[in-house]
Amino acid sequence: MKEALIKDKHKYTILKEGSISSPKGFKAGGLHCGIRRKKLDLGWIYSEVPANSAGVYTTNLFQAAPLTVTRESLAVENKIQAILVNSGNANACTGEQGMKNALEMRNHFSTSLGIPEYYVAVTSTGVIGEQLPIDKINNGIKQINVMDNQIGHFEQAILTTDLTVKHLAVSVEIDGKEVIIGGAAKGSGMIHPNMATMLGFVTTDALIAPDTLHAALKEITNQSFNMITVDGDTSTNDMVLILANGLAANNELSPNHPDWDTFMLGLEKVCEELAKKIARDGEGATKLIEVEVQGAAELETAQVISKTIVGSSLVKTAIFGSDANWGRIVCAVGYSGKMIDPLKVTVKIGQITVVENGMPQPFDEDQAKIYLQNEHIKIVVDLNEGSENAIAWGCDLTYDYVRINASYRT
């Protein structure tokens, strides 16, 4: 079954059982190699042919060894055929031995597949500062059969403190042919705007050149993954990779292609939904918070203010307590660093106007509390200074967040 959706006259279809391996020629899976006690901890994605690829990476200066190795792979031909991911150990701040281990992961996986090393990307997620149990990973690689598509196993294998898997696939029509875009992600803590702050993987059977693919990923990332925050911490490891193997046999996509907007809409849908799933699955979270800033003079202003609000610890705790404390919202607008006129600002919590033209409005506290008990909370701030809008996503801040992170290594 498929759920058809239309936006801006361009059609995409959500695949009900869609996954990272839904596009033609892609397979994925996961297994337990012993890094973690019982859970799947080694995942893989494989394309039948080398795929044009692009990536965006964390801005943290302490970048883990796998990021360096993956960048090196992409720098050769901008093509990737296989991705290997381990969870439970980040291989970050591990020095020369950590780099050797990341290279060994790439070497063993490429050798087992009979493909060049530079066609393999490696990623890791988990505890920082500990060396990889590389022997366990190498033994796990020996068990991988890339022709065995294990739907759902990859999504499970990449999780750390996540409570749920995160995946989606959509189909779009390009040149009269079906093109599928699939995605999977992990992320629950150390999530904050300014790429990458989690692991995200996107596959598509579209034909698209590497430079065009990179530009598309960067544009969509700024509207999706860069618009989420859980706790304000930017990770050492994380990245988003996109692979396009061209097996849909469409004419090469570019901004001049008549179906370019359709492709971009599908890519936006996949990335945005994955980003929202990460925000909702924030460590200890009970609610997804969506903040839309309207009427900004510049897009950057809307983006910065929306992210500032959703990242405010005081806003997040108020939402957790179902407290319509709008003062915390306007406070965040004020310290965002963007110059706006406070006397033009209107704030709504759901459909309830709490501030208009910078002044508090009478509202029913009981009605607001009932709304704030929902799992999806929307806050709208209208600056009334222009036509630019932006949306950011985050989650509430709960007692469980402290509990989870106080005992992360134990």
Instruction: Supply the residues annotated as catalytic.
Output: 197
Q: Report the residue count for the chain.
A: 410
Q: Over the chain, what HEC string results? A: CEEEEEECCEEEEEECCCCCCCCCCEEEEEECCCCCCCCCCEEEEEEEEEEEEEEEECCCCCCCHHHHHHHHHHHHHCEEEEEEEEEEECCCCCHHHHHHHHHHHHHHHHHHHCCCHHHEEEEEEEECCCCCCHHHHHHHHHCCCCCCCCCCHHHHHCCCCCCCCEEEEEEEEECCEEEEEEEEEECCCCCCCCCCCCEEEEEECCCECHHHHHHHHHHHHHHCHHHECCCCCCCCCCEEEEEECCCCCCCCECCCCCCHHHHHHHHHHHHHHHHHHHHHCCCCCCCEEEEEEEEECCHHHHHHHHHHHHHCHHHHHHHHCCCCCHHHHHHHHHCCCCCCCHHHCEEEECCEEEEECCEECCCCHHHHHHHHCCCEEEEEEECCCCCEEEEEEEECCCHHHHHHHHCCCC
Two tokens at 20? 């990272």
Q: 321 burial class (0-12, 13-18, 19+ CB within 10 angstroms)?
A: middle
Q: How far apart are CA 53 and CA 32, in angstroms?
A: 27
Sign of the Cα torsion 402, 404, 409, 410 reads positive
Q: Which two tokens stand for residue 402?
A: 């402290």
Strand 239-244 to 42-57 pairing: antiparallel
At residue 116, what is the residue type?
P
In whole angstroms, what is the distance from residue 380 CA to residue 292 CA?
A: 5
Task: Supply 123's token pair.
Answer: 């990623």
